Copies of this chain bind each other. A is one copy, B any other.
Amino acid sequence: MFALTILGNNSAIPAFDRNPTAQLLQTLDDSYLIDCGEGTQMQMIKYKVKHSKINHIFISHLHGDHYFGLIGLLSTMSLLGRTNDLHLYAPERLKDIIKLQLDVADSTLCFPLHFHAITNEGLILDDKKVTVSCFGMQHRIECWGFLFKEKKNPRKINSERANAYEIPASFYDNLHKGEDYINKKGTIIPNSEVTDPATPARSYAYCADTIYDEALADKIKGVGLMYHETTYLKIDHEKATARFHSTTVQAAEIAKKAGVKKLLIGHFSSRYETLDQFHTEASSVFPETELALEGICYNCP
């Protein structure tokens, strides 16, 4: 499992029952929260997301529609008695905000919160089965995108054939890695005889708020699923540029240049009541486009 659930898909002003940005990337073992706009904890209740499985939270930038829900979520986790470590990756000054809000409430969190200030592009998390890197976005303030990659999966052992060659279970880890087996007689059993290819590793790129930036394509080349903001429709491209945001066709151009498998678009402006036109415009440039809709879970291809 490597799938993304949308908890909020709107830009700054909540409207038309659309909430500010929050996304949850789920693997079999872990859940990674990406941005946390106001009301994210209520959206989690609505869509039955367990926050006990979240051990890592990533905040792209310090505009409110991407983090105003964080302090409420942390407070709730604490009130519910969480004890597990929580890791937070975010621009440096978020630490001051959290500290101040806890101070004035004369409160502490009852779990360890590890704050990882993002300062440079590169690897920020090397987890059991996933790595996360960050890359710079071109927005009005410091802003980061996040690239989630499954680690290379192990080759699958065909136990019937492995048994026929009398390969001991103690050698299975080596088989997973692709090694050949040499038996007592010195005969080489090629790895491909007893294993099947691994499931290809999947990847997800979260491109947060950004002006149209061709350099982005190189940073996320060939990912499976890419989310790119589309605050505006094509006709409003001047507004988009003035506000360091992107349009439908700009997002689709990046997806095409980056050669991604699927594009997910969101961060819709509250000036638009309906979203059909977003899909029409983006998919005219990049057919494999989907709207990021709240409560919907998208599999990474």
Contacts and interface: CB of A to CB of B under 8 A. Distances in A.
Interface of A: 12-15, 19, 38-39, 41-42, 45, 62-65, 68-69, 71-72, 75-76, 79-80, 91, 93-94, 96-97, 100-101, 104-107, 140-141
Given A62-B105, A140-B106, A79 B42 contact: no
Contacts of A141: 104-106
29 contacts: A12-B75, A12-B76, A13-B79, A13-B80, A14-B41, A14-B45, A14-B76, A15-B45, A19-B42, A38-B38, A38-B41, A38-B42, A38-B72, A39-B39, A39-B42, A63-B105, A63-B107, A64-B75, A64-B105, A68-B68, A68-B71, A91-B104, A93-B104, A94-B104, A97-B97, A97-B100, A97-B101, A104-B141, A105-B141
B62 A104 contact: yes
A233 to B, nearest CB: 18
B45 A101 contact: no
A239 to B, nearest CB: 13
A64 B72 contact: yes
Pick the most buried of A69, A105, A107, A140: most chain B CB atoms within 10 A of its CB.
A105
A273 to B, nearest CB: 13
Nearest to A37: B72
A107 B13 CA distance: 15
Nearest 9 A-B pairs (CB), nearest first?
A62-B104, A38-B72, A93-B104, A39-B39, A68-B72, A106-B141, A64-B75, A13-B76, A63-B105
Nearest to A91: B104
A63 B107 CA distance: 9
Contacts of A15: 45
Contact of A64 (B13, B42, B71, B80): B71
Contacts of A101: 64, 97
A13 to B, nearest CB: 5
Given A62-B104, A63-B107, A68-B71, 18 more contacts: A12-B75, A13-B76, A13-B79, A14-B42, A19-B42, A38-B38, A38-B68, A38-B69, A38-B72, A62-B105, A65-B75, A91-B104, A93-B104, A97-B97, A97-B101, A97-B104, A100-B100, A104-B141
